[in-house]
Amino acid sequence: MPIADEILRVDLAAERVTSEEIPEQWLERYVGGKGIGARYLYEKLESGTDPHSPANILLFVVGPLTGYTPGDQRYAAITKSPLTGTFLDSYAGGTFPALLAGSLDNQMGVLVTGEADQPVVLSIDGGEATLEPAPDLWGLDARETCEQFPDAAVACVGPAGEAGVQYATIASDGGDHHAGRGGAGTVMGAKKLKAVVVYGSEPEPERGKLADLRRRSEEAFADSDVGRWLAASETVETVDFANEVGALPTHGWQAGRFEGADEIGIERVREAATGRERPDDPVPGGFCVDSDEGESVPRGATPIVLGAGLGIDDWNAVATLGTICDRLGMDVITVGNAVAWAVRASQEGLIHRDLEFGDEEAVRTLIEEIATRSTPLGDALAGGVAGAAQRFGGDDLIPTVKGMELSSYDPRSAETMALAYATSDRGACHRRARPVELETVSGDHRSVHERVRSVVAEQNRRAVLWSLIADDFLEEVLRPDTVVEWLTAVGYDLEADDLALAGERIWTLVRLFNVREGFTREDDELPTTLTEPIEGGPKDGNAIDPDAFDVLLDRYYAIRDWDQQGRPTAALLRRLDLATVPDEETPVSRVSEDTP
């Protein structure tokens, strides 16, 4: 089986499509997905580029295992984030990733540059791509856009991406799946690329090794703790878990438990569900539910940020608000936090708008104002919490890291989770590492060094999984020896040690991108919001101690072999074969190699 060793390049301004080889060394060192996307973004994007400008780059990338592994398939949307200014990798599942992999032939992804003169659609089939004008699609929401192509899989922007909302998503499957966080859809909308449409069929495991690996992995995944959890509850159960341990962000991060959690938790969702997304799959996907805006597939973030976060305990109302966000093409996590900021800002007298927690009609109105930027408040909130606070004040109301809002878990319930948020490469993200699950349930009696090292190891492992690209929930069954088997079956010659180095190398390369953009230790600090005590639940009164957190961050940098400003050292770059990669604009630490 030949390795996909080319990239499809699309210049929207010149209306030109070409295909070029990916350097062989890049495939060896960065594997695919996140790694290859990061290497292209660092190499091709000039530092200081405005994320909204035609000069920004947008990649749609798959990996060597996309379409083959069990569970939900993934693709990566990679760009410079309009919301945070950092490197951005955002992932989506559904039907689009496997069909994208199947339609690309021997290409691993699509690199899009420039800006079209008018709205266009990029169609891909058999490794060939064409651009077609699509002015009639501009203004359609995600579901309406996908319905225009009944025989294909579609990734598109909705009205929020067209309007330049800083956290617009790239939606697929009618809005049931999103490359959600950080604003990849904003970049796509700025380029006037309304949709990417892929035809053909999914990659199929051939008889022999690949088919056997697929069967074994499906059985192991379905029988794993994570597989059984997803089959029973999908991610919606995180509402119940976070509420139980006192980590559920409630009423704009003021409390850790929500009295109405049972009304928006897993049992209520099961009662409301009309079925499962993939009913015949060993892990059947999300719950399909009806709402006032039609059927949707809500994830755990929906009831967390649009329910508990906004004080709404009516499941139908929460599902409806989530469906509106999905169709408009906006990240529900940032939307929920932005509206929560508005409620708290209203209570503090920073804005002149009568808003209260629990008022679903007011929330719906404000969501629509954000998507269209049709009012001064909606326009401000289209920049996220950080953008609104810059205009009105109140930067201590809702926590953000690098300009991205925190998501599922309140880190005041788990100190190491605070470190995971702070050091996430794209801004506050709970998917890079999730130590909250261990720390809140069984208590964490490990040393500071051991706890920090576990965060580093998890970040590195997921960098590899997102380069394969495999769903990070497959972590239990895609251990290094199994991954080596998979990669050998698709033509790669890598060992377990190579993969461990690749994960660290990819994480370090992304850090080089971010420090070149001006990010320092200050950007890895936690917001002051989290130094205030949480209210309610078993963690009542907990707060992050800034001095204790600095100890964690110091140790994190030392384990990573970064200096105390968070810059990778020259010695580290040599060990990872990155020494020749940094350009003159990238600050590299020259501290002594024997610095502890």
What digits encode the pLDDT tens for the residues 206-247? 657 888 998 899 899 888 888 899 999 999 999 999 999 899
pLDDT at 594: 46
Closest CA to 61 of 103, 95, 33: 33
CA angle 342, 535, 254 (to 5 degrees): 10
Q: Which positions ≥6 away from 437 have C-beta within 8 Å?
A: 241
Instruction: Give the pLDDT confidence of 465-520 residue by residue, as tens digits.
Output: 999 998 888 888 899 999 999 999 999 999 999 999 999 999 999 999 999 999 99
Q: For position 440, what pLDDT does the model report? A: 60
Mean per-residue pLDDT for 286-309? 93
Give the pLDDT of residue 595: 43
Q: Is the pLDDT of residue 259 over 50?
A: yes
Q: Give the residue extent of every domain in the chain.
A: 6-198, 209-395, 411-575
Where is mean pLDDT largest: 74-88, 293-307, 446-460?
74-88
What is the amino acid identity at position 142?
A
Average pLDDT, the chain: 93
pLDDT, position 443: 62
User: 80 forms bridges with which residues in the sheet?
Assistant: 87
Residue 92's pLDDT is: 96
Q: Which of 552, 575, 593, 581 is nearest to 500 (CA)?
A: 575
Residue 207: its pLDDT value, please? 59
- Of 39-53, 324-338, 518-532, minimum mean pLDDT range: 518-532
Tally Cβ neighbours within 10 Å of residue 1. Answer: 11
CATH T-level topology, domain 411-575: 1.10.599
Cα angle value 221/226/230 (rounded, 5°): 95
- Distance separating alpha carbons of residues 454 and 452, to the nearest angstrom: 5
Does the 6-198 domain belong in CATH 3.40.1310.30?
no
Residue 273 reports pLDDT greater than 60 = yes
Please say whether the beta carbons of 426 and 84 come within 8 A: yes
Q: What is the mean pLDDT of residues 518-545?
A: 90
Q: What is the pLDDT of residues 305-325, one digit of tens each?
A: 999 999 999 999 999 999 999
CA 340, chain centre distance (Å): 21
Phi, psi of 120 (to 5 degrees): -135, 165
In this prediction, residue 71 has a pLDDT band, given cuts at 50, 70 and 90, of confident
Average pLDDT over residues 167-182: 96
pLDDT of residue 441: 59
Whether 260 has a pLDDT exceeding 70, the answer reads: yes
Query: Domain 209-395, what fold?
Result: 1.10.569
Q: Angle, nearest 10°, between helix axes 480-489 and 496-516?
A: 90
Its pTM stands at 0.95
Q: Measuring CA to CA, which residue among 139, 141, 142 is closest to residue 175?
A: 142
Triad 178, 182, 188: Cα angle to 5° = 70
- pLDDT tens-digit series, residues 408-456: 788 988 888 999 999 999 999 988 988 876 666 556 677 889 889 999 9
